[in-house]
Structure 1
Amino acid sequence: MKWRSPSSPLLHIRSFNLHFRTTSSKPRIIHPPDVFSANCLADLHLKRGRIEDALHVLDEIPQPNLISWNLTISCHNRASRFERSLATFREMRSLGFQPNQFTYGSVLSACVASQRIDFGEQVYSIVLKNGFFLNGYVLTGLLDLFSKSGRFVDALKLFLEIDTENVVCWNAVIAGGVRDGETLVSLELFREMVDGICMPNGFTFSSVLNACAVAGELEMGRGIHAWVVKCNAGDDVFVGTAIVDLYAKCGDMDAAVKEFSKMPVRNVVSWTAIISGFSQKEDALHALQFFKEMIQTKVEVNNFTITSVLAACSNPILVHAVHQINCWVLKNGFFTDFVVKNALISAYAKTGHVWMSEEVFKEAGQVEAPNTWSAMISGLVQNNNLRKSIELFQKMFHGGVIPDKFCVASILGAVNCIDLGRQIHSYVVKAGLVSDVLVGCALFTMYSKLDSIDDSHEIFQRMPERDTVAWSSMIAGFAEHGHSEKAFHLFKQMLFEKVSIDHVTLSAVLTAGCSHQFLSKGKEIHAHTLRSGLAPDSLIAGALVSMYTKCKSLISARRIFDGTLHKDQVLWSSMISAYVSNNLSKEALLVFHRMLIAGCEVDHFTCSSVLRVCGNLSKQSLGRQLHAHVIRAGITHYLSVSSALLTMYSKCGSIDDSRKVFDEIESPDLITWTAMMDGYAQHGRGLEALEIFGMMKENGVKPDSVTIVGVLSACSHNGLVDEGFLHFNSMSRDYGIKPELHHYACMVDLLGRSGRLKEAAAFIDKMPIEPDSLVWSTLLGACRVHGDVELGKVAAKKVLELEPCDSGAYISLSNMSADMGNWDEVVRLRSSMKGVGLRKESGWSTV
């Protein structure tokens, strides 16, 4: 072997390695005699991951040089002892050492990792003073410092002040923009970068593809994908994952699956991206399929993968899949992860099995994480368990857990009492959450829901920051409460302040067009959607169909429907509802038939509308088929479906089937109770109707004016005069409901059916409000039944004074005269009808 002088560092290192291999498991570390050799040895230890050995070597150097100090800082960084790194930097400067670019780079990395922005700014000043500003290594560290500390504007300003072709610097500022939500800025920087400045690498592609995914820029993402293919960077697992994530988040799952299948290596992030994409598309079957394949290929599963697949299982028919995932979670030790627990609680709640959510919550033991309480409260709210959700919120306080903004927002959605709402509002102010956009939006939505629209608007105006969701919610609140002018004014203000407008905003303001007088404004909003390029969206199309329907412009509504290429469930349901609300039952069934042919799933909204058609047309066979679909699809828990089912059976003459449907409903609402009462009343079974009314009151459901009409109608159909007056007199006394014309008409009908015509006429004379044509027509009908021609003439005269074109009054008088044999009067009345251009409509029946 060729002789080397004792001063050669290579000889010392080789000697050390030989000694290290031939001695015991705990070798004695031999320290080289000079700084250069010591630095080399320390660097070798550092590269092999033996950080403590490296630091031991560096500590033994009597007179360390700049390289020694740099290695010491790097060792502390590698061991995540960032405060020690910063302390070492201070010490070396106090000893008179001048840092170089590697020192600055390492110290800036420590500042970023430890979030010591104050220290980083001091380092920045030293960098400027010592002239290392333009060094790429230092510049990258500075850009990282600013962008990762939420100061992307400062990072961008710094970057724009220099002219660099360093790809790492470009990557740092582009990644910073993506991280800070400035995706459009990042994409613009990428355009400048590839415009001849420097070539992107895999890290660049990953960042800009993520930016495209977040911004929904699918077309630009396709262009970057082409760059990836051109640069042959597609085999990089991070780039491949970013491509899959782009297509998944933009909804192109065919492309996402295609790119996923091409990946030579797939990590947990790749699998999670494809599962999350299917979850976002509400395609639970494919999400579960890929999750199963992932487990079979033995790729490590993390909590994000589990939460993604659980998010897809929101349909009641998938509860078995949630059970299986729950078992897998228990078996593989993920149950201690509170993120997974929260996802399980939410998944069970979405499938309607909130009792299983409660079991998961109880098994968590002493829960201190506010987001777990929030998940449980949200699940109870979704399943209309308002009492339990409020009790749990109170229990949370007693347990010393401070609710976070998500928990407060959830409970505000459950509040159904203005006093309780004000108490929670006071807590929100006390806790300093009132300035949060999410909580503020939940607050004014709560007041709006409780019919306190003025309080709602006041909170909205006081919000220091209002996002698009807040504006849209306030517009929707005005629209729901009939303040259409205010809704349109708020939308105009939103445009003036240049707030971003999305599909939800446009849908909300379109609901304000609720009558023909707002048709012109609705058309203006329609024109705005066309200019904004949002018109093809199915949500907007559905809102437009509803708006034109309410404005009695069905031709325009159908034109929008036919012009939308991709029709979803909401749009089909909107068109069917449009025809149903305008009593065009046959047209509604034709659209429903087309919907089935198109393969679109029938949801609970569509079922409710079509069941109404079946009831109107007495198509019980179709109604029974829909009932079977409702059971198979697991949507019987929707009260709108249950109410429509029992109404359909009632109108088709099967009142016993209506009662069976009613008995299967766990918690009927006011509409359902009223529908069951009306069904019994229409079938002449008044006692059963009153029995239902008694059960309703026992369950704590307060009747409204429509319910009272059903009760009075039941009394009328069964001749229960005293019972009817008892309920009529209790309206204002017990329930605070002021009698309206419909209630008075029911009482006239009650007296008329019992033959007490004079009492009915006296009752009308004593009415505190002016009787309308319905009240007099009711009396006229009773006179026709009991043959009281004289009183019938009085009633008919009143009807014709109020409704001159009412042919029914002429027909009733004519029939009464015919029954009495007064044919001259019959001829006179028929001639009078012809004189005013009236004719008797032909009768028809569906039976």
Structure 2
Amino acid sequence: MKFLIRQNLGTKISLPGAKFLSSLAVTANPSTPFDKHDENLTTFSLYSFLNECRESGHCTRRDTEILHTQLLKTNMYHSNIFVANSLISCYCKSAAMDSALQLFDEIPVPNVFSWNHMISGYNETFLYEVSWRIFCRMQWSGYVPNQFTYWSVLSACSALQSPLCGKQIYALAIRSGFFSNGYVRTGMIELFVKCSSFEDAMRVLYDVWCENVVCWNAIISGAVRNKENWLALNLFRQMCRRFLLPNSFTFSSILTACASLDELELGRGVQGWVVKCGAREDVFVETAVIDLYAKCGDMDEAVKEFFRMPIRNVVSWTAIISGFVQRDDTISAVQYFKEMRKLREEINNYTITSVLAACSDPAMVKEAIQIHCWIYKVGFYSDSAVKASLINSYSKAGAVGLSELVFRDAEDLKHRSTWAVMISAFAQHGSPRRAIYLFQRMLHEGLVPDNFCSSSVLSIVDCLNSGRQIHCYTIKSGLVFDVSVASSLFMMYSKCGCLEDSYEVFGQIVEKDTVSWASMIAGFAEHGCGYHALNLFRQMLREGAIPDGVTLTAVLTACTSLCSLRIGKQVHAYALLQGVAKQTLVGGSLVNMYSKCGSLYLARRVFDMTPFTDQVSCSSLLSGYAESGYIEEAFQLFHEMLFADFKIDSFTISSLLGAVVRLNRLGISTQMHAHIIKGGLESEVSVGSSLVTMYSKCGSIDDCHKVFEQIGRPDLISWTAIIASYAQHGEGAEALRFYELMRKAGTKPDSVTFIGVLSACSHNGLVEEGYYYLKSMVEDFALEPGPQHYACMVDLLGRSGRLKEAERFVKNMPIKPNALVWGRLLAACKVHGDVELGRLAAKKVFELEPCNAGAYVSLSNIWADVGEWNEVMKIRTEMKGGGVEKEPGWSYV
């Protein structure tokens, strides 16, 4: 440009040119000296410079204006349309569209290239509506567009997502004879693809025999962008059958589709074709190959391909970093990012968001803070996507305070993504009030929450009133039609116990995805509506939806709640047919289903056949062994879990403690307790409750008390366990004291708790207290007493020698006495030698349970105590004749 400034041209400037010259903001550098002895600029040098500026695309507005000034002196651009068009092109490339339009308007007779430069220039500056108006003006002026014109204006229609205007342009192009032109058809295909009208795009492709690879690339890449990856692969096969040679753009799209579908072997085949066609040197193709291996989990091969690349760009670096993040290799991801910085490679916001995802771990908070400082230093902190990623990383790493700090520092608080991520952070860390407050604040500040914000808030709402208010907002804003919002809505209703409302919202979803089906099925299963869950699963299959592993897990949960082994086997067969039975999640659910349904043999077979067993499947099988009395197998599996370095959680320990209770061996109990203390689980409610029961069965009431004191926040089960333990050990006063402590702590007792309380009264002869607590159960807590509660009262009266009162109590019971109640009365008659009442009680027991050996023995002992040996022999004969056998007692001692 400097040689233009030095020219001293003496040609007169025309009037129109002078007029335009005065309108230029910058003409030439006034401080630059002009050499009066320089020769005039030749036409050849001017053409050469114009071509250089136009083809390079690096000319600035100032350089173009200086060039324009020199051209005004030569009066060349008025007499030469090529010069004028080249100058317009330079203005367009420097984004000076106002100057380009002013120059265009001064051209006496513009040609089609002049119009094309203006239309494409407005496209490049994202002024698509102006581009459309320029085309309309061209039509009104009587100029005939060519294929480049149609392609440019179709690009504008595509950006505006206006298929109607695009169809009009396409019809005009067909009428003008451009029916089979590749540019026109490519533009139309891209328009339809962007508007998700794949049928129309396919129709354009198949209208005539198409041998234009660009058209095929357009529809294939569009299918990949719209997540229609199988369609993209099918189109690629059709393209190959037509003997069309794919190029680098084709390979990049197909490799991306293979990566999204996790089709590694198919991707390897495409890679072989890449090598054969000589497209391996293309940086975009090689980046797609790296992305394929990374997303399919083969990071070793991805790294090999990465280092084979002769030239690496920011996309390839970002792909390898993202691959390490997906494989949870956060250290390698951060190391590659540091290597990028060391080599001074270009870094964009995608690279930063990828490496920040690697720092979403509590152990990586320090690295996240360092990257945060670097982001602030280099100027990426103003990027809303980077801020959102920072908030998300700190949140997942457990540093919610730092997330809030980034959120408060955000200059552009009007960006919804930042708010959405902060709301999600509060939701993930169990802060529903703060999440809802932030959601309300968004509305007050005029921001419209999107589907992500609404879904995040709904995921933590446990108040039906608040949930209904947000439901009203989603209806008002139209978000209720979004499948993710609708799924969060019916999950919210399900969580609040409103299954009818939940199912109603589910029914209103027009296009149900797999997640919505799985969520609704899981909602029914978790609320004990197993039959509804199975019916919904059948409906899902009838509608052609293909369940995934999560859906089948929910269905298996329903089978478990129904104890339906037959349907569970059918679901297992379907999982095998779909090839998901060996997934860890499905395998664990199958093990749990078979264990809970009592088929431990099949549970073990599934467990052994699952390639990667996890903690859930191990715990489920261990629980099945413990509940079924296979104590040795339970402990063996427990040792295997320890050797495999599985984290032993409270559920596993509680199941194993249940098995220890059956052993009734204090030594093993003490060892288990030591392991629990070592693992830091002694304060867990479920573990503490199991320990209380275990020590109670082992006869160590002092250890029961100590273990109970270590529980962080005792729940109803814990309180009930300690009350029952003291009652069983004859310490009724302590049992009742703990009952009162439970009441003061705000825990509401249930019917099981009152069994322990009444049992405590029974063991200590507290008759009046027993009547009081039985009455309190009904009046204070609206609990209906059951047979066990009445049996405790009969036992209490019997132990106190008040047999006639016990008889009246049994006859006046509001429910029909069962064998347990009459058995307690019979036992009291044996203690106090009441033969007649004992005979009556035994008769009632025999009527209800003819094979009750205990009743025969008790009645026999009553007769033996009074010396009626004939009656004793008669009872023993009846026992032998009825096939009733007394089970012999046994002991570990």
Where do 1:93-132 residues align within 5 Å? 93-132=139-178
Deviation track 1:354-391 (CA, whole Å, cap 9, x = no partner) reads: 67766666666996566655555555555555566556
Q: 2:252 aligns with which of 206, 213, 220?
A: 206
CA contact 1:209–1:242 (8 Å) conserved in 2: yes
Q: 2:600 aligns with which of 546, 554, 568?
A: 554
Work out whether 1:332 is the aligned partner of 2:375. Answer: yes
CA contact 1:51–1:75 (8 Å) conserved in 2: no
Relative to 1, partners in 2 of residues 1:569 and 1:66: Cα closer, same or farther, differing over 3 Å? same
Structure 1 counterpart of 2:633: 587
Deviation track 1:293-345 (CA, whole Å, cap 9, x = no partner) reads: 6666665665555655665677xxx4242364145325523666555555565
Work out whether 1:542 is the aligned partner of 2:588. Answer: yes
Structure 1 counterpart of 2:239: 193
Q: 1:146 aligns with which of 174, 177, 192?
A: 192
Q: Letter of the aligned partner of 1:838 in structure 2? A: E
Consecutive unaligned residues in structure 2, runs of 5 or more: 1-39, 54-58
Deviation at 1:45, TM superposition (A): 3.4
For 2:343 and 2:776, locate their aligned partners in 1 and report how far apart those are by CA, in whole Å: 70
Structure 2 counterpart of 1:35: 80
CA contact 2:251–2:274 (8 Å) conserved in 1: yes
**SS class of match (1:535):** coil
Deviation track 1:723-781 (CA, whole Å, cap 9, x = no partner) reads: 55444433344444333334444545555666666555544433322233444455556
**SS class of match (2:481):** coil
Structure 1 counterpart of 2:90: 45
Please, which moves more after superposition, 690-699 or 527-536? 690-699
Deviation track 1:171-225 (CA, whole Å, cap 9, x = no partner) reads: 1100111122221111101112233522222222221222223333333223223
For 1:239 and 1:823, locate their aligned partners in 2 and report how far apart those are by CA, in whole Å: 100
Structure 1 counterpart of 2:219: 173
CA contact 1:435–1:463 (8 Å) conserved in 2: yes
**SS class of match (1:570):** helix
Relative to 1, partners in 2 of residues 1:525 and 1:758: Cα closer, same or farther, differing over 3 Å? same
Work out whether 1:322 is the aligned partner of 2:365. Answer: yes
Please, which moves more after superposition, 202-211 or 222-231? 222-231
Relative to 1, partners in 2 of residues 1:462 and 1:138: Cα closer, same or farther, differing over 3 Å? closer
Structure 2 counterpart of 1:471: 517
Relative to 1, partners in 2 of residues 1:79 and 1:461: Cα closer, same or farther, differing over 3 Å? closer
Relative to 1, partners in 2 of residues 1:811 and 1:145: Cα closer, same or farther, differing over 3 Å? same
CA contact 2:64–2:91 (8 Å) conserved in 1: no
Q: Letter of the aligned partner of 1:501 in structure 2? A: P
Relative to 1, partners in 2 of residues 1:540 and 1:67: Cα closer, same or farther, differing over 3 Å? same
Q: 2:704 aligns with which of 633, 642, 655?
A: 655
Relative to 1, partners in 2 of residues 1:103 and 1:393: Cα closer, same or farther, differing over 3 Å? closer
Q: Letter of the aligned partner of 1:12 in structure 2? A: L
For 2:867 and 2:357, locate their aligned partners in 1 and report how far apart those are by CA, in whole Å: 76
Q: Letter of the aligned partner of 1:35 in structure 2? A: N
Relative to 1, partners in 2 of residues 1:222 and 1:645: Cα closer, same or farther, differing over 3 Å? farther
Deviation track 1:432-491 (CA, whole Å, cap 9, x = no partner) reads: 443332233333333333444334333333433322222223333333344433333322
Q: 2:887 aligns with which of 831, 835, 840?
A: 840
For 2:729 and 2:310, locate their aligned partners in 1 and report how far apart those are by CA, in whole Å: 70
Q: Letter of the aligned partner of 1:30 in structure 2? A: Q
Structure 2 counterpart of 1:487: 533
Where do 1:296-315 residues align within 5 Å? 304=350
For 2:343 and 2:842, locate their aligned partners in 1 and report how far apart those are by CA, in whole Å: 83
Please, which moves more after superposition, 441-450 or 702-711? 702-711
For 1:640 and 1:374, locate their aligned partners in 2 and report how far apart those are by CA, in whole Å: 36
Deviation track 1:388-442 (CA, whole Å, cap 9, x = no partner) reads: 6556656666666554434444444444455554454444444444333223333
Relative to 1, partners in 2 of residues 1:50 and 1:365: Cα closer, same or farther, differing over 3 Å? closer
Deviation track 1:490-542 (CA, whole Å, cap 9, x = no partner) reads: 22222222122222222222223247873333332222223333322232222
CA contact 2:85–2:113 (8 Å) conserved in 1: no
CA contact 1:152–1:180 (8 Å) conserved in 2: no
For 2:420 and 2:830, locate their aligned partners in 1 and report how far apart those are by CA, in whole Å: 63
CA contact 2:119–2:135 (8 Å) conserved in 1: yes
**SS class of match (2:251):** helix
Relative to 1, partners in 2 of residues 1:208 and 1:732: Cα closer, same or farther, differing over 3 Å? farther
Work out whether 1:574 is the aligned partner of 2:617. Answer: no
Q: 1:768 aligns with which of 808, 814, 834?
A: 814
Structure 2 counterpart of 1:627: 676
For 2:683 and 2:447, locate their aligned partners in 1 and report how far apart those are by CA, in whole Å: 33
For 1:675 and 1:183, locate their aligned partners in 2 and report how far apart those are by CA, in whole Å: 57
Structure 1 counterpart of 2:6: none
Relative to 1, partners in 2 of residues 1:553 and 1:60: Cα closer, same or farther, differing over 3 Å? same
CA contact 1:41–1:57 (8 Å) conserved in 2: no
Structure 2 counterpart of 1:3: none
For 2:799 and 2:401, locate their aligned partners in 1 and report how far apart those are by CA, in whole Å: 50
Q: Letter of the aligned partner of 1:81 in structure 2? A: L
Structure 2 counterpart of 1:448: 494
Structure 1 counterpart of 2:270: 224
CA contact 1:623–1:648 (8 Å) conserved in 2: no
Structure number with bigger Rg: 2
For 2:299 and 2:63, locate their aligned partners in 1 and report how far apart those are by CA, in whole Å: 58
Deviation at 1:164, TM superposition (A): 1.9
Q: Letter of the aligned partner of 1:520 in structure 2? A: R
Please, which moves more after superposition, 795-804 or 439-448? 795-804
Relative to 1, partners in 2 of residues 1:111 and 1:391: Cα closer, same or farther, differing over 3 Å? closer
Relative to 1, partners in 2 of residues 1:18 and 1:804: Cα closer, same or farther, differing over 3 Å? closer
**SS class of match (1:577):** helix
CA contact 1:55–1:75 (8 Å) conserved in 2: no
Relative to 1, partners in 2 of residues 1:578 and 1:243: Cα closer, same or farther, differing over 3 Å? farther
For 2:164 and 2:91, locate their aligned partners in 1 and report how far apart those are by CA, in whole Å: 29
For 1:346 and 1:786, locate their aligned partners in 2 and report how far apart those are by CA, in whole Å: 73
For 1:230 and 1:766, locate their aligned partners in 2 and report how far apart those are by CA, in whole Å: 94
Deviation at 1:168, TM superposition (A): 1.7
Structure 1 counterpart of 2:34: none
For 2:487 and 2:749, locate their aligned partners in 1 and report how far apart those are by CA, in whole Å: 30
Structure 2 counterpart of 1:65: 111
TM-score of the aligned structures, taking structure 1 as reference length: 0.83
Relative to 1, partners in 2 of residues 1:766 and 1:15: Cα closer, same or farther, differing over 3 Å? closer
For 1:681 and 1:362, locate their aligned partners in 2 and report how far apart those are by CA, in whole Å: 57
Number of residue-to-residue matches in the alignment: 831
For 1:66 and 1:696, locate their aligned partners in 2 and report how far apart those are by CA, in whole Å: 90
CA contact 2:708–2:718 (8 Å) conserved in 1: no
For 1:628 and 1:247, locate their aligned partners in 2 and report how far apart those are by CA, in whole Å: 44
**SS class of match (1:162):** coil
CA contact 2:104–2:110 (8 Å) conserved in 1: yes
Relative to 1, partners in 2 of residues 1:423 and 1:44: Cα closer, same or farther, differing over 3 Å? closer
Relative to 1, partners in 2 of residues 1:804 and 1:330: Cα closer, same or farther, differing over 3 Å? farther
